[in-house]
Amino acid sequence: MEIAVVHNKYFNLGVMGRSGSRSFIFDLTGTSKHNPFMCSFEKYNDKDFIRNPNILVLRHPIERAKSGIKLNLQSKFHGKPFLDKINYENITHIIKFEDIQDYLKIHKGKADFIFTDDMNQYRPWSLETFDYTEELELYEKFLEKPVLEVEQYKLLKEQIT
């Protein structure tokens, strides 16, 4: 399982599918391709990889899963619980999914990342496929992190453009 991460010398921004991954990747890099930005959780948690700010885009787990199910997307990136794989202490800021339109223009279009063999094997799934109990608890905990201000995001973006 992996997370999409825009990583540079100024900051890290981690985002899962159905949480604005294409929009943030496109806004920060000019491409909507996921592949160059896919990162293992082990690497994402590595102290040598972490930048400050280390930002996580956060969407309510059930809403994220419902969106992935509705669009028949793979559960692995678009609905499977993942917050237990992130070192809570490493996250300095969050961006709430419901506010992303304040940060950027939403990028719409067909996902263009290449599926691995494992991801390419479609397996129908539903909300009952996963137990979201711990994920919901962790979601509430992550909501306690400071929200990255819109102006701070724009300043960070300017540094890499």
Q: To which residue do tokens 């921004």 refer? A: 13
**pLDDT tens digits in sequence order for the chain, 161 residues long:** 899 999 999 999 999 999 999 999 999 999 878 889 999 999 999 999 999 999 999 999 999 999 999 988 989 889 999 999 999 999 999 999 999 999 998 766 554 444 444 444 467 899 999 999 999 999 999 999 999 999 999 999 999 86
Run of H or E residues at 56 = strand 54-58
pLDDT at 138: 98
> Which has the closest alpha carbon to 13: 76, 48, 58, 46?
58
Q: State the Cα–Cα distance between residues 100 and 102, nearest whole angstrom.
A: 5
Q: What are the boundaries of each domain within the chain?
A: 2-160
Examine residue 53 and say whether the peptide bond preceding it is cis (omega within 30 degrees of 0): yes
Residues facing residue 40 across a β-bridge: 2
> Angle at CA 107, nearest 5°, toward 132 and 58?
30
